[in-house]
Amino acid sequence: MKKAYIDPNICDRSPFCPAKRVCPTGAITQEVKLFGASTPKVDQNKCIGCGKCAQICPQRAIKMI
């Protein structure tokens, strides 16, 4: 099964990352601090490979591999 992979070189680390919202299993988490956010992380054990995050990412930073 394919799983989501976030390319840290493409991700813009927006604290409003829409992929976090659409993930049905809560597999995507991100540390958001006062002065910026980290690259979101995908918990490979929670990802069911639905591809919703890859579809909505405005930077196209998420690949299904």
Q: Rule CB under 6 A: which residues touch ligand SF4?
A: 4, 22-25, 27-28, 42, 47-53
Based on C-alpha coordinates, what's the Rg of the chain? 11
CB of 60 to ligand SF4, least distance (A): 13
CB of 18 to ligand SF4, least distance (A): 10
Give the CA-trace dihedral at 41, 14, 51, 29, to 10 degrees: 30
CB of 12 or CB of 44, closer to ligand SF4:
44
CB of 23 or CB of 61, closer to ligand SF4:
23
Supply the DSSP string of 20-46, one letter for each residue: HHH-TT--EE--EETTEEPPPEE-TTT
